Amino acid sequence: MPDSMELLMEEARQLSRTLESVVVSIHRITSTDNGADGREQLWLYLADHGAWRALAEARHVLALAMDRQLGEEASAALVADVEYWSGPVA
């Protein structure tokens, strides 16, 4: 497997803007102790403001770039041991 891969400028721009928006927004929401109101604000941001959708789109952009350059099998192998949330779910 190669040590590096390239992104098209538009892919890099989209990933960078999405991550910047989501990370800074979550930091702003959670940087003060708002208790239940903070959790509600976080949920509103993630669900209603479209952060989930933006992250899913960013994941898709990266997955396509990885598949294009590494191949689908190698791309899948890179995320094979990802840890997922194991706590309670809705």
First-to-last C-alpha distance (Å) of the chain: 38
Three-state SS at 86: coil
pLDDT in tens, the chain (90 residues): 778 889 999 999 999 999 999 999 999 888 877 677 888 888 899 989 899 999 999 999 999 999 999 999 989 998 899 999 898 876
Residues 84, 87, 88, 90, CA torsion sign: negative
Quote the CA–CA distance of 46 and 38 in Å, as a whole number: 12
Quote the CA–CA distance of 53 and 78 in Å, as a whole number: 22
Q: What local confidence, expressed as pLDDT, does residue 66 receive?
A: 93
CB 18 within 8 A of CB 54: yes
